[in-house]
Chains A and B, each alone.
Chain A
Amino acid sequence: MSENRRILLVGDIFVDVSLKDREEKMRLGGVLHAARALWALDCRFDLGYFAPTYLDQSVLEFWQSHSIDGSIAKFGNVTGSPNVMLVADMTEHGDQGYLDLLRDTRQVSLFPDWKEGLDWGCITDILVISGSFPVAEVLDYGASLGKRIHLDIANGDEGNKPERQLDTLFISTSSKIFDREDASIAAKFQSQVGQDVERIILKENRGGSRMWQKHKDVHQVGAQLRRVVHSVGVGDVFAAAFVQLLDRQSTEGAHHFASWIATNYAETTFPLDFRTGVQQTLSLTALEVSNLGGAFLPWEIRRDISIYIAAPDFDYVDRTEIDRVASSLKYHNFRPRLPVRENGQACTDLPKKDRKKMCIADRELIEECAILIAVIINQDPGTHIEIGYAAAKQMPVIVYDPHFFAQNLMLTELPDAVVHSASDLMQVVFEMAAKINSNTAL
C-alpha cells in the first residue's frame, strides 16, 4: 500500500441521454463517471479531458458544484461530433444500444500545450478511461514521469491497446473489444500479468469480477445484486474506486470495495445519495465486505447454463417480450432454450403420436435446463403447466410478467420470483445461477 495517492483522471466527456419510456434522462458522462467516484471518496484528484467546446462551461460548473479539490485541464478539443451518447437501455439487461452521434466524423486533437495547467509533480497515478483521443501519447508522457499508469480499455479501439508497462488494465465483458467467444480468457490473462501489466481486472457485469496478479491465485469478487437504476459509467466508477483505494487497502481489499462502490453508483443518479452509499460502504472493513459475499458467475461458465423459456412462443402471437428475454440471456452469455423453436409448434390437427413426441421433447428439454423463466404475455395453459412441472422438480422458476397479468395465487406464489422488468429479471437470473454455480463448486 502507498500513502497520499493522487490520481489524474484522463478521458472524453460525453452527454449521456436515455430516451426510454416517457421521460428523457440526461447527464454528463464519459470520464466524469469516474470523477463522481473520486468525489464520493472525498479525495483530491485532477482531471484532464477532451470535449467539444460547447461543453466546457458545463464541465466547469460540474467541477465547481462538486467542490472538487484538484485541478482541471482541457487536454484537447473534439470537433465533428457533439459527443452525445444515446442509450437505449439504461440498466443493461441486454445490449445497452449505445448510439454515439457522429462518431465517424469525430476528430480529437491534443493541444500543443496540453501538459501545462497541471502540477504533474503532485500526481502519483494516472487513470486513463480510453476513448477516441490519443491515449498512447498521454500514457507515454505519464510513464516518462514515473507515474503509475492504469488503463480502462472498455471503450477503446484496438489501436489504443497498451504497448507499455501498466499498473492495472481494466477490461469489461460489456466492451466491444471483449472476445465473447473466447473460452480461454482466464489462462490468457494469467499469462499476461507480470510481463507488461501488474494486474488485470475483468469486470463481468452482474457476475462479479476477477483480478489476475503475478504469483497469486486469481482473486474473485461477487457482484452485489441490488436493483439497478442505471448501468452507465458503472465500470468507470469501479476502476476509479479501485485505484484510489489502493492507497489504504490491499489489492484484494480495493477489489472488494470497488465492486461495492460500483453498485452504489448503479443504484441512483442522485449524487448525494451515491456519496451516502459510498460512505456507508466504507464504514465496513475489507474483511467484512469479503465475508458478506456476493453473486459470482464467471463469463465462460454461463454458456453451460441452459435456461428454459416457457412461453406462448407461437407464430400468431406478438413475441417481442419472449425475444427480449432470449436476447438478454444471450447478451450475458447464458444459453436460452426455446422449445417451440427447437422442437416445433403444435398445430390443432397434429396426430396424437406426434403430439406425444413433441410433449416428450419439451419435457426432456426442461430436464436439460437449470432454470425456467416463464414469460406471461397471455393466459397460456402450456406455460402454466411448465411452471408447475419445473417447481415440482425443485427447479428454480422465475415468472417474468411485464404486463402485470399474473393474479392467480399459484402463479404468483409457487415460483421463486415474480418480476415485471427485464432488468429485475436479469438480477434474479444471476442470483439463481450464481447459487447453482456455488453449490456445484462445493
Chain B
Amino acid sequence: MYLQKMGSSGTGRFTDYPGSSRSTSSTGGTTGGSSGSDKCGEAFAAELEDVARGSYYGTKGSLPPNGHEFKVVHSKRLVAVDLEGFELGNLPTKYNYLAGCIGSGRAYIGVVTTTSISPLPRIYVDIAPI
C-alpha cells in the first residue's frame, strides 16, 4: 500500500508531472500526476481526546452507549458533537486535515464503538464522510 502511493516509481524516467496519466509501473507502483484517491472521502476509526473535559461527560457523569451518533463540528478544534449538542471529545490533531475537507464542503458523522471509564474515560469511534 505504501509503495503504491508513490507518484514517482521507477527510475527509467520522471513520472510525477501534473499532466501525467496514472499507470502502474513495471514493479507494481503507481505513477502519474494523481493517485486517484480522495483523502477527504476516507472513513476511519479513532480515539477521542479530552473526553473528561467534554460537556457530555461533564454533564452526565457517564459515557455514551455504543452506537451513539454524532457529527464532526469544526469549532476551534474538530469536535464530536452528538444530536443533543453535547461534546463527546476532540478528534486527535492528526485528523486536522478534515477541517480543510469541511471547508471544501464535506461533512462527517460517526458512531461510538466502545468506551472505557477506568482509569480515565475513553471513547472510541468510527467516522465517515456523508
The residues of A that contact B92 with a CB separation of less than 8 Å are 431
How many of chain B's residues have a CB under 8 angstroms from any CB in A?
Answer: 42
Contact status B17-A66, CB under 8 Å: yes
Contact status B11-A222, CB under 8 Å: no
Task: Tell me whether A154 is interfacial, beta carbon within 8 Å.
Answer: no
Contact status A22-B3, CB under 8 Å: yes
Task: Tell me whether A80 is interfacial, beta carbon within 8 Å.
Answer: no
Contact status A283-B103, CB under 8 Å: yes
Output the nearest chain B residue to A229 by Cβ-Cβ distance.
Answer: B5
Contact status A283-B94, CB under 8 Å: no
Knowing A283-B100, A431-B92, say if A22 contacts B27 (CB, 8 Å).
Answer: yes
Task: Tell me whether A155 is interfacial, beta carbon within 8 Å.
Answer: no
Q: A411 → chain B, closest Cβ, in Å? A: 17
Rounded to whole angstroms, the CA-CA distance of A272 and B15 in the bound complex is: 13
Contact status B28-A25, CB under 8 Å: no
Knowing A24-B9, A26-B11, A292-B77, say if A272 contacts B18 (CB, 8 Å).
Answer: yes
Q: Is the interface of B mostly helix, strand, loop or mixed?
A: loop
Task: Tell me whether A315 is interfacial, beta carbon within 8 Å.
Answer: no
Contact status B32-A270, CB under 8 Å: yes
Rounded to whole angstroms, the CA-CA distance of A101 and B29 in the bound complex is: 26
Q: B13 → chain A, closest Cβ, in Å? A: 9
Knowing A27-B16, A431-B92, say if A277 contacts B103 (CB, 8 Å).
Answer: no
Quick one: CB contact mask for A38-60 with B, threshold 8 Å, 1 for yes?
00000000000000000000100
Contact status A291-B77, CB under 8 Å: yes
Q: A70 → chain B, closest Cβ, in Å? A: 16
The residues of A that contact B54 with a CB separation of less than 8 Å are none
Contact status B9-A23, CB under 8 Å: yes
The residues of A that contact B35 with a CB separation of less than 8 Å are 268, 270, 273
Quick one: CB contact mask for B35-51 with A, threshold 8 Å, 1 for yes?
10101100000000000
Q: B89 → chain A, closest Cβ, in Å? A: 14
Contact status B18-A27, CB under 8 Å: no
Task: Tell me whether A62 is interfacial, beta carbon within 8 Å.
Answer: yes
Rounded to whole angstroms, the CA-CA distance of A275 and B34 in the bound complex is: 10
The residues of B that contact A21 with a CB separation of less than 8 Å are 3
Q: In the complex, given contacts A269-B16, A272-B33, A277-B100, what are 13 additional A-B residue pairs having Cβ atoms less than 8 angstroms apart?
A: A23-B10, A23-B29, A24-B10, A25-B9, A27-B7, A27-B8, A224-B96, A224-B97, A270-B16, A279-B104, A283-B104, A292-B93, A292-B96
20 example contacts (A-B, Cβ-Cβ < 8 A) are as follows A23-B3, A23-B6, A24-B11, A24-B27, A25-B9, A26-B14, A67-B18, A226-B94, A268-B5, A268-B7, A268-B35, A269-B8, A269-B16, A270-B34, A273-B39, A277-B39, A288-B74, A291-B76, A292-B78, A293-B93
